[in-house]
Structure 1
Amino acid sequence: MSDYDYDLFVIGAGSGGVRASRIASSYGAKVAVAEEYRVGGTCVIRGCVPKKLLVFGSHFAEDLEDAQNYGWEIEGTKFSWQVLRDRVLGDVDRLNAAYKSTLNNHNVTIIEERATIIAPHRVKLASGQEISAKYILIAVGARPYVPEFPGSEHCLTSNEMFHLEELPRRAVIAGGGYIANEFAGILNGLGTRVTVVNRGDTILRGYDESLRDRLLQISMTKGIEFKFKAPFEKIEKREDGTLDVFLKGQDPINTDIVMMATGRVPNVEGLGLEHVGITTDDQGAIPVDEYSKTACDSIYAVGDVTNRVQLTPVAIREGQAFADTVFGGTPKTVDYNCIPTAVFSQPPIASVGLTEGEARNRYGNIRVYSADFRPMRNVFAHRAERGLYKMITEEPSGKILGLHMIGPDSPEILQAAAIAVKAGLTKQAFDDTVALHPSMAEELVLMK
C-alpha cells in the first residue's frame, strides 16, 4: 500500500496537465487532477481553438467577395455574431467533455475545485480537504496581463472576447504580438473598425522583419489602423458606455471596447509555493531543470507557468516527458530547437528556425533565398495581396537555418517543411525536389 493518497496529483487540467495525467496513469500510477474552471486549459477553452474558429468565420467576408469572380452570384448575405459566438462556445463545450472523457477513460480522478500546495507531498482543496501525493505537478498555465493605469478596469482581454454580447463597431487593441494581430484580423474581417495601439515601434517582435513588414502593409490595406510608440495614459467611460482612450502624444480615441493583448503572466498567485521553498523568477515563472523538476524534489512544473516556450504543443511535450521520466523509467527531455510557430493573422505567418537577423549575428556568412509572389487565387480574384517565403542558409554548406512564410495556408505548408529544417537538410535537397504544380507550396523548391 502507498503511503500517499495518490502517486501523482496534478494542479491544472490544461494541455500539459492532461497529457501528464493520462500517460502517468497508463504507467500504472494512481492519478488525480484538480481544475477550478474547465478541463482543457487556455488553448481549448479560451485560446487557440476558439480563436482559430473565429479566424475561419471572419475570413468568409473576403471569400464571399472573391466568389463573385469565380462565377457565384450571392445575394442577401448577412452576418450574425451571436450565431458564430454560440457555435464556437458550443464546440468548446464539446472539447471540454472530450477531455473529461479522456481522463476518465484513463482512470484519472478529476477534482473540479482549486488546489493549493501546503507541503512537499500535500495539497489543500478549496473545500478544505487535504490530499497527499508522492509527486505534485504544477500545470496551471498563464493568464493575460493587464497593466495598471487610470481606467484600466474598463479593458477586456482575449478571455472575454469569446463572450461579447454584441460585435463592437469600433475596437482598440493594445499590443503588437500574435494575439493582438490575430484579433485585429478577426474583428476587421467581421466589420469592426480596428485600431492597434503599441507602446513599441514594431509588431510581432521575434519574427522575421520582412514578414512583419509585409503583414503590417497588408493589414493597413485592409483598413486596420496602427499607432506606435503610444503608451496608455488613461481610459474614461462615457454615459453611453463608450470609452475615450487617451494615449501619449496622440489624439483621444472614442471606441466601444479596449482589448489588452500585452503579454501573459504565469498563474502562481496563491498557489502556496512559499510552503515548499519555490521562488519564482523575475517574470514570475517557476524555475525548473531540464526534467521539469522545481527546487522541491517532489514537485514538478510544465507548460506556460514555467515560461520556457508558451505554446500548447510544447506543454504537451513537457507533460509527456515528465510522465516518461518519473513514472515510465525512461528519462526524457524536450528539445526546444526549431519549434515551428504560427500567427493566425490574415494572411497567416509561419516560421521555424532563425530569422535573417539572428542567423547573420550567429553565423555571419549566410545566404537568403526568397519568393515574393501573388497567389493564383488572388490573381484571379483581382486581389493585390502578395505572399512572401524566405529561406536562410549557412554558407557554404547550404544548411537551412530558418524558413519563414506569410500567405494563405502558410501554417499548413510549414509543418511539413519544418521537418526538413529540423533534420538539418540543405537548400540543395529542396532544389532536388520536383515542384508540385500549381500550388503555393511549390515556391519552397523554386526559391532563388
Structure 2
Amino acid sequence: MSDFDVDLFVIGGGSGGVRAARIAAGHGAKVMIAEEYRFGGTCVIRGCVPKKLFVYASRFTDEFEDAAGYGWSLAKASFDWPTLVRNKDAEIARLERIYRTNLERAGVELVDSRAVIEDPHTVRLLKTGARVRARTILVATGGYPVKEPAIPGVDLAITSNEAFHLEELPRRIIVVGAGYIAVEFAGIFAGLGVQTTLVHRGDKLLRGFDEDLREGLTEAYARRGIKLALSRTITRIDRGGEELVATLDDGSRLAADQIMIATGRRPNTANLGLEAAGVRMNGNGAVFVDGASRSSVPSIYAVGDVTDRVNLTPVAIREGHAFADSLFGGRPTSVDHSLIPTAVFSTPEIGTVGLTESEARERCDVVVYRSAFRTMKATLSGRDERMMMKILVDGASDKVVGVHILGEGAAEMIQLVGIAVTMGATKADFDRTMALHPTAAEELVTMRTPLPRA
C-alpha cells in the first residue's frame, strides 16, 4: 500500500498550477489541487484577461473620434463604468467555471482551501485541518502587488487588484510606476476620459525595453494627454476632504480621486511553510528552482511567478506543462526562457521579441532596420499617431535577433513574428517573403535600407 494519498498536490489554481494538474492527471497521476480564492489565478481573475477587456473599452473613444473622417456622424457617446465592471465580472465567472470543469473532467480533485506545507511530503488544508500526503508537491501560488515604497499614507492608495472593482470611475487618477501594469492602466483610464498622471522615478517608461519603444511610447502618451511626472517620486499621500493629495519629491502636490501604486509584485510565498520544509528562497520570497523547476527539496517543485523567472502567463503554463510531462509523462522537457514574445497593451500597444538594440550591440555586429510611418487608417481619421517597426540583424549570420513594434495591432503581429524569430529566420528570409498590401505589417518584409552604422 502506498505511503501517499496522491501522486501530486498542487498549491495554487492559477495558469501554471492548473496546466500542471491537468497534464499530470492525463498521464495517469492521482492529482489534488488547492486554491484559496478562485480558480484562474492572477491572469484570469485580476490580471491580463480583465485588463484586456478594459483596454478594449478604453479604445472606443478613439474609434468614435476617427469615425467622422470616414463619413460617420455619431451622437455624443457616453460611458457607464458599472456596466463595464458588471460585464467583466460575468465573463470572469464564466472563465472560472471553465477552469473548474476542465480540471474535474481531467480527474483532478479540487479543494477550495488554503494549503500549507508541513514537511517535504505533507500538506495541511486550513479549511478542514486535514493532512494530505503527496509524493510530489508543486507550488504555483503566483505573486501579488506591493505598495512600495512604504511612504506615509500609502495605505490610502489602491493596486491593480482594487482597480478592477472600483465602485465608480474616478475623475482624476495618479498612477505610480512605469512597467507593464502602470503603463497599461494609465492608458486605460486616460482612454475612459479620466485625467491621468503617471509618476515615475526614471526619465522614460518601460525599463528594459528597446529604447525606441520607450521613447516612442513616452511621446505618444504625452500626445494623448497623459501627464507625465518623470524623474519624480511621491514622498507622502494625504487625504484632503474627498480627494487624495500626493506630495512629490520636489515639493509639488497633485490632487486626485484615486492613487494607484503599480511599482512591482512579489512572489506569494508568505506563510506557506516553505522555510520549515527546507525550501530555499531569495530575499524577495521567490522559490529557487533548477531547469526542471525543482526546488532545493527534491519532492517540491515550483512554476510561474512564484519563481520570479519570467513573470508572464504563457511562461507559467509552459513551465507547468513541462513539469508534468517530465515527471509523470516520461518525456523530459525543459523550458527555454531566452526568447519570449511579449506585448504591452498600452495605446498605442507594443509587441517585442528578442534582443533590444543595446543588448544586440553587446553580442554581435548588429545591423538596424527601422521605419516610422503614419498608418493608412490615420490618413482619413486625422489622428496624430505613428507606427514604428524595428528589425535587428546579426551582421555576420544575417539572423534576425530582435523585432520591436509600436502601434495598432503590434501584439498580434509579434506573436506571428515570434515564430519566425524562434525558427532562426534571417533577414533574407524576411526579404523573400511576399508583402501583403495594404497592411502595416508589410513593412516588416519591405525594409531594405539599414540605418548608418553607429
**DSSP 3-state at the match of 1:98:** helix
CA distance in 2, matches of 1:77, 1:227: 30
How do 1:201-220 and structure 2 match up within 5 A? 201-220=203-222
Aligned counterpart for 1:194 among listed residues 193, 196, 199: 196
Show the counterpart of 2:110: 110
Show the counterpart of 2:32: 32
Deviation of 1:282 after TM superposition, in Å, equals 3.0
CA distance in 1, matches of 2:376, 2:76: 28
How do 1:140-219 and structure 2 match up within 5 A? 140-147=141-148, 148-219=150-221
Show the counterpart of 1:272: 273
Show the counterpart of 2:371: 371
Show the counterpart of 1:53: 53
Aligned 8 A contact 1:141 1:304 in 2? yes
CA distance in 1, matches of 2:397, 2:380: 39
Show the counterpart of 1:427: 427
Deviation of 1:397 after TM superposition, in Å, equals 2.2
**DSSP 3-state at the match of 2:301:** strand
Show the counterpart of 1:333: 334
CA distance in 2, matches of 1:252, 1:350: 35
CA distance in 1, matches of 2:68, 2:241: 43
**DSSP 3-state at the match of 1:156:** coil
Show the counterpart of 1:394: 394
How do 1:235-274 and structure 2 match up within 5 A? 235-240=237-242, 242-274=243-275
**DSSP 3-state at the match of 1:118:** strand
Aligned 8 A contact 1:13 1:40 in 2? yes
CA distance in 1, matches of 2:221, 2:29: 50
Shifted more, 4-13 versus 200-209: the winner is 200-209
Deviation of 1:68 after TM superposition, in Å, equals 1.4
Show the counterpart of 1:11: 11
Show the counterpart of 1:89: 89
Structure 1: gaps (5+ residues): none
Show the counterpart of 1:133: 134
1:313 partnered with 2:317: no
Cα 1:372–1:378, aligned 2, differ >3 Å: closer, same or farther? same
CA distance in 2, matches of 1:260, 1:45: 19
> AA paired with 2:230?
F
Q: Structure 1, residues 218-245: CA drift from partner, whole Å, max 9, x if none?
A: 11011001112222211011232x1010
Q: Structure 1, residues 160-182: CA drift from partner, whole Å, max 9, x if none?
A: 11101110000000001011110
Show the counterpart of 1:64: 64
Q: Structure 1, residues 82-129: CA drift from partner, whole Å, max 9, x if none?
A: 111111111110101110011011111110110000011001111211
Deviation of 1:321 after TM superposition, in Å, equals 0.6
Show the counterpart of 2:294: 293
CA distance in 2, matches of 1:245, 1:139: 36
Aligned 8 A contact 1:16 1:139 in 2? yes
Deviation of 1:344 after TM superposition, in Å, equals 0.2
Q: Structure 1, residues 386-442: CA drift from partner, whole Å, max 9, x if none?
A: 000000001132111100000100110111111111111111111111110000110
Q: Structure 1, residues 305-360: CA drift from partner, whole Å, max 9, x if none?
A: 00010000000000001001110111111011210010000010000000101100
CA distance in 1, matches of 2:33, 2:180: 30
TM-score scaled by structure 2? 0.97
Aligned 8 A contact 1:21 1:108 in 2? yes
In the TM superposition, structure 1's runs of 4+ consecutive aligned residues that sit over 2 Å from their partners are none
Aligned 8 A contact 1:230 1:250 in 2? no
CA distance in 2, matches of 1:269, 1:441: 45
CA distance in 2, matches of 1:230, 1:376: 37
CA distance in 2, matches of 1:35, 1:238: 40
Deviation of 1:200 after TM superposition, in Å, equals 2.2
1:304 partnered with 2:316: no
**DSSP 3-state at the match of 2:361:** helix
CA distance in 1, matches of 2:280, 2:293: 15
